[in-house]
């Protein structure tokens, strides 16, 4: 039986990437940097998981004279996290359809609920408080966040950390993801994966997913969970 569901945050629980992008751009502007990430730029930049890693990947494409020292990248990212938190607290996003019901259903079935995200812990906290009205550790039994692992998705480290904290083998858990890199990360940790593509990940390669649906809105979750168990 499945004993735990492990959720990705950005793109899966909520469509947060436009808010991340806005927070990055607001931070650049506040520092007088002439950097601005368009939607098209961001679609490419998202292939690098993690905000700090994304900033470094962006810099690598700039002429050397325009690059900032690592300490500035860390500071910019910390400010971006604060701005993002304010935007979320002001109600910039809600949970994607079906998320709340699925978690309620899983709780009724005595499953544990976990999070494996590339984003930083403060972002998990503000989203939980805004969308559920509770601290994150009262929504999720286990939280593994980006700042706790060296290598971000598609590396399996974050899912391995979540599994470790759950104390469960991968075959007793299911991962929920929206992206190709998230799918790769979860698969490499041995997990079956349900995919709900998000605005930025539509059209990506989801080969290897156990189930793919436009949203998590399903009236027959018990059946689907059972069918997926048989398929991997
Ligand atoms: C998505 C990410 C994150 C966010 C930005 O993570 O790659 O880096 O875009 O957040 P996931 P930070 O889908 O795994 O939740 O700036 O805090 O990294
Ligand atoms: Mg995601």
For residue range 119-132, list pLDDT tens digits in order: 999 999 999 999 99
- Work out how many domains the chain is built from and give that number: 2
pLDDT digits (tens, 9 = 90+) for 165-193: 999 999 999 999 999 999 999 999 999 99
In CATH, what number is assigned to the domain containing residue 54? 1.10.150.240
The answer to whether residues 61 and 103 belong to one domain is no
Cα 57 to Cα 26, 52, 79, 156, distances in angstroms:
19, 9, 18, 20
Give the model's confidence band at 221: pLDDT under 50 very low, under 70 low, under 90 confident, else very high: confident
Question: Cis peptide before 154, with omega less than 30 degrees from 0?
Answer: yes
Q: What pLDDT is recorded for position 113?
A: 98
Q: Catalytic: which of 8, 72, 101, 205?
A: 8
41: annotated active-site residue: no
Q: What is the length of the chain?
A: 232
Cβ(118) – ligand 1 distance below 6 Å: yes
Distance 117 CA to ligand 1 centre (A): 7
Q: Which helix (H) or strand (E) holds 101?
A: helix 99-108
Res 230 pLDDT > 70? no
Distance 50 CA to ligand 1 centre (A): 5
192-195 vs 142-144, strand pairing mode: unpaired
pLDDT digits (tens, 9 = 90+) for 7-20: 999 999 999 999 99
Secondary structure (DSSP) of 187-205: HHTT-EEEE---TTTTT--
Cβ(146) – ligand 1 distance below 6 Å: yes
- Nearest Cα residue to atom 8 of ligand 1: 50
Cβ(117) – ligand 1 distance below 6 Å: yes
The answer to whether residues 130 and 43 belong to one domain is no
In CATH, what number is assigned to the domain containing residue 122? 3.40.50.1000
ipTM tops the 0.90 cut = yes
Of 89, 123, 145, the one marking the end of a domain is 89
């Amino acid at each position: 039986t499945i004993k735990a569901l492990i959720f990705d945050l950005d793109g899966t629980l909520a469509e947060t990437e436009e808010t991340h992008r806005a927070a990055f751009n607001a931070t650049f502007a506040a520092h007088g940097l002439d950097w601005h990430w368009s939607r098209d730029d961001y679609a490419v930049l998202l292939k690098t998981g993690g905000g700090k890693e994304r900033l470094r990947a962006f810099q690598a494409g700039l002429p050397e004279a325009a690059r900032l020292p690592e300490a500035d990248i860390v500071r910019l990212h910390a400010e971006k996290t604060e701005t993002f938190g304010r935007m979320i607290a002001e109600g910039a996003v809600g949970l994607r359809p079906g998320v709340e019901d699925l978690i309620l259903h899983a709780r009724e079935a005595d499953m544990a609920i976990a999070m494996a995200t590339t984003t930083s812990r403060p972002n998990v906290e503000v989203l939980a408080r805004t969308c559920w009205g509770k601290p994150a550790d009262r929504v999720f039994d286990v939280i593994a966040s980006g700042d706790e692992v060296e290598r971000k998705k598609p590396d399996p480290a974050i899912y391995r950390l979540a599994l470790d904290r759950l104390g469960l083998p991968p075959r007793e858990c299911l991962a929920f993801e929206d992206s190709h890199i998230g799918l790769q990360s979860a698969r490499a940790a041995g997990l079956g994966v349900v995919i709900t593509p998000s605005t930025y990940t539509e059209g990506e390669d989801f080969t290897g997913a156990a189930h793919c649906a436009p949203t998590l809105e399903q009236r027959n979750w018990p059946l689907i969970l059972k069918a997926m168990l048989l398929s991997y």
